[in-house]
Structure 1
């Protein structure tokens, strides 16, 4: 349906578009800088080892193998500390790349870090065995008898458990809470290896810049986790005193939870963002929920909309008014601030409407600037659709609905009826190439939309898809 237009806004279209391009380039440069910093940290670890006599210690095959083992350990440990920083929800990282991309990079580093640490253990054992003239088995037993090395082996075991349970096929067998508890072992895996690292003689000798560097990395990683994962959320939750005001059923298995609090606008939430929510009841306090805002918070109110995806989310529909709520966030770059093109295109399916609804509410749109496609299998999936049409910012914009099941056996995000009429992503979104495209819906469905958009020629920089599941 087409809605009426509103008067032109204060700033000229050219000025708005120019500002968006500048901001987009600035974020790209910052993202590149973060990648450079991560790579530089690894290079620095190796360079400091070499600067403090790493090569000078190589005199034979045994010492060469030992030195390579030390380097693999340093690089592996550095990568693990980078992973911890990426998982710490540092605001700068979130604003530049978003938590979904940060965590995707975090996951990619997991296996290389583990392989390096495994190589570290194997190479050191072989090098020490050669130097002592003993067997690898005997050397391993001897190392276990030393308290620092015993802790190092314990750290390796914990790290192995974390990486194995992070593999998607394995992770699906665990509840979020069980997986998260196991994943917390990564902190212990790093900490228990610290005595072994600091007691390894000249490698991190007292009074060297190498020792200062590594202690600084540990402080940065664990300080970031302590500050942004625990202290800031606790202070923020206490300051805003968020509580459940009302639970409203909007469809079978879907509820909107209306929240009240103090100065909620000071959360500085942008439309499209999400937060990690914890509801303090006897059945829900132990479960943290990543849920999008379905409306931009005001001074005293906020709203999230939740679909029943399992036992954890199902219990949220039964929380009582007055329940205290704690928050981590807001997070995410699925916002109007990350646009770079002159137009806006949106495709939402199912409960994916929630961040889309707040995104559109919080966007600065010119008349006719947006094109919105709302996708549902049947009428029961019209979550918040009526609110989309009433948003003031969408006056003059086009809102299309696509209802119906997908054709069986065909990999498409469209309904069978739309395909029969010859609808394509380019015909549904005639200004696609001049638009930033925001997509939110089930993961497999979203992939199909992304595939079609890229095939139609949309630059990847104008695609916005954000995941915040575990």
Structure 2
């Protein structure tokens, strides 16, 4: 194992050391992260937590408001028979289910307030969690309505469903909508998702918009809850319209505006290591993207066979601005992880680039402490390099740990070394094979054999923000170690780019 350590203040590198403390050091007693520090980031952290609570309140309030629409219309007073009870349950289930669908759409609309509060990955996680409950509620809506109407008319649920399809205007669209919702939720299951490429899953997911669109007509044409002239109708129209406008603006219009504003063009592609390249781009008004280190963009390279494929990559360096109009360069670092990313190594200079973002909270915006620890492995090292360049800290308040099987896997290590020298950050290179007999460790085998753990490198870990970027299983092991060392969940920052 070869490791390297830089002292806490800027000084020449001391090569040839093993870089480990002379004896393993445990976390200091009483430093188990009892709450946000009193430094410059404490107020930012409290504000972000309040915003997260506000989003939770708004979400629950929207579901309650959907049910209140029915109650305000005298729905409860109309429950005077078993048939009316079934119908009432169906109506309430439909209102709640549709409200959850609208919440799901807002979570993937990439609204800045949501993205900067909970992060892109957590928004997607909540989106997925709402999928099954919304589908179950919509299925319950259809079933209970068919049973309730059927009991009132002396028909069985199947006969009533056929009658609704054939005799009631717009009702056939509701059945189409239900089939589309089932298809979308089914393809979202992990076991199903892994069988298909991202592009197939993405196209199927576009059916969500068709499902919502085909579900709306019968909501306004059947029953009296949303009859013309009622405030319930205006409320429902308003939230549906607001959801549609948010999706259109943040998913379509804003990326088009950003692409037009920055006029990005590939300037050169250079090798970093085997299967890893830097893609440098020139553009305009790049000062607007300053401070985005750690956050990711969605890139589309407008070349034959590539323009339709989105690539979520973080910047690997802060944009360099040198012109009066914000003209400058920016860079991403890409590893060959499949056919899509392999094609990027062959990009030609002059290729136009469309972009969306930046997204996520893997940035200074998530800080809660003055001290910071950056832990990266493989291509996950590259976003940390950009974050290290921009996030504020005093000399001695930052520690960087880079993990790789070999020195060649510590991508951009020379740049990170120079940044650590300039800014006074401790740097550890942790290389070597992982311990074979311990599937939960992320450290090299030699470090484990010598009894070292994460707090051995960062004794004050529990009083720091910890940024982790790397393969999912590896990152999970690092997170477990950090939690065992007393780091609070809100101090751990790890953003996934999975779908």
The TM-score with structure 2 as length reference comes to 0.90
The question of 1:2 aligning with 2:6 is answered yes
User: 2:281 touches 2:331 (CA, 8 Å); kept in 1?
Assistant: yes
The question of 1:443 aligning with 2:472 is answered yes
The 2-side partners of 1:5 and 1:432 are apart by: 18
Equivalence map 1:208-219=2 (5 Å) = 208-219=230-241
Equivalence map 1:75-94=2 (5 Å) = 75-94=96-115
Question: Pick from 121, 140, 144: which aligns with 2:165?
Answer: 144
Q: How many pairs were matched up?
A: 462
Question: Pick from 172, 180, 201: which aligns with 2:194?
Answer: 172
User: 1:63 touches 1:127 (CA, 8 Å); kept in 2?
Assistant: yes
SS of 1:201's equivalent?
coil
CA distances 1:282-340 after superposition (whole Å, capped 9, x unpaired):
11011001101001112311100111111111111111111010011011111123211
- What residue is the counterpart of 1:118 in the other structure? 139
- What residue is the counterpart of 2:362 in the other structure? 334
User: 1:367 touches 1:394 (CA, 8 Å); kept in 2?
Assistant: no
CA distances 1:160-193 after superposition (whole Å, capped 9, x unpaired):
1111111111111111111111111111111100
The 2-side partners of 1:319 and 1:263 are apart by: 23
Question: Pick from 381, 386, 389: which aligns with 1:358?
Answer: 386
Question: Pick from 68, 82, 93: which aligns with 2:89?
Answer: 68
User: 2:370 touches 2:393 (CA, 8 Å); kept in 1?
Assistant: no
CA distances 1:326-363 after superposition (whole Å, capped 9, x unpaired):
01101111112321112111110000011111110111
Question: Pick from 292, 298, 305: which aligns with 1:283?
Answer: 305
4+ long deviations beyond 3 Å? 392-395
The 2-side partners of 1:341 and 1:268 are apart by: 22
The 2-side partners of 1:315 and 1:377 are apart by: 25
Q: Give the CA RMSD over aligned residues.
A: 1.5
Equivalence map 1:359-438=2 (5 Å) = 359-391=387-419, 395-410=423-438, 411-438=440-467
User: 1:88 touches 1:228 (CA, 8 Å); kept in 2?
Assistant: yes
The 2-side partners of 1:187 and 1:199 are apart by: 20
- What residue is the counterpart of 2:16 in the other structure? none
The question of 1:344 aligning with 2:372 is answered yes
Structure 1 residue 408, shift from structure 2 partner: 2.1
The question of 1:36 aligning with 2:40 is answered no
Q: Which 5+ residue runs of structure 1 have no aligned equivalent?
A: 8-15
Change (3 A) 1:394 1:73: farther
SS of 1:383's equivalent?
coil
Structure 1 residue 228, shift from structure 2 partner: 0.3
The 1-side partners of 2:70 and 2:365 are apart by: 43
Q: Which 5+ residue runs of structure 2 have no aligned equivalent?
A: 12-36, 322-327
The 2-side partners of 1:223 and 1:131 are apart by: 40
Structure 1 residue 379, shift from structure 2 partner: 2.9
Structure 1 residue 439, shift from structure 2 partner: 0.4
User: 1:237 touches 1:326 (CA, 8 Å); kept in 2?
Assistant: yes
Change (3 A) 1:57 1:141: same
SS of 1:221's equivalent?
helix
Change (3 A) 1:200 1:239: same
- What residue is the counterpart of 2:484 in the other structure? 455
User: 2:420 touches 2:427 (CA, 8 Å); kept in 1?
Assistant: no
- What residue is the counterpart of 2:244 in the other structure? 222
SS of 1:320's equivalent?
coil
SS of 2:89's equivalent?
helix
The 1-side partners of 2:107 and 2:381 are apart by: 28
The 1-side partners of 2:38 and 2:383 are apart by: 23
The 2-side partners of 1:223 and 1:444 are apart by: 38
More helix as a share of residues: 1
The 2-side partners of 1:269 and 1:469 are apart by: 24
Equivalence map 1:192-203=2 (5 Å) = 192-203=214-225
SS of 1:346's equivalent?
strand
The 2-side partners of 1:352 and 1:61 are apart by: 59
SS of 1:277's equivalent?
strand
Structure 1 residue 448, shift from structure 2 partner: 0.6
The 1-side partners of 2:427 and 2:231 are apart by: 60
- What residue is the counterpart of 1:190 in the other structure? 212
The 2-side partners of 1:316 and 1:25 are apart by: 41
Structure 1 residue 393, shift from structure 2 partner: 7.3
The 2-side partners of 1:147 and 1:247 are apart by: 58
- What residue is the counterpart of 1:231 in the other structure? 253
The 1-side partners of 2:135 and 2:389 are apart by: 44
Q: Say which structure, 1 or 2, has more relative contact order (CA 8 Å, 6+ apart).
A: 2
SS of 1:138's equivalent?
helix
- What residue is the counterpart of 2:20 in the other structure? none
Structure 1 residue 268, shift from structure 2 partner: 4.2
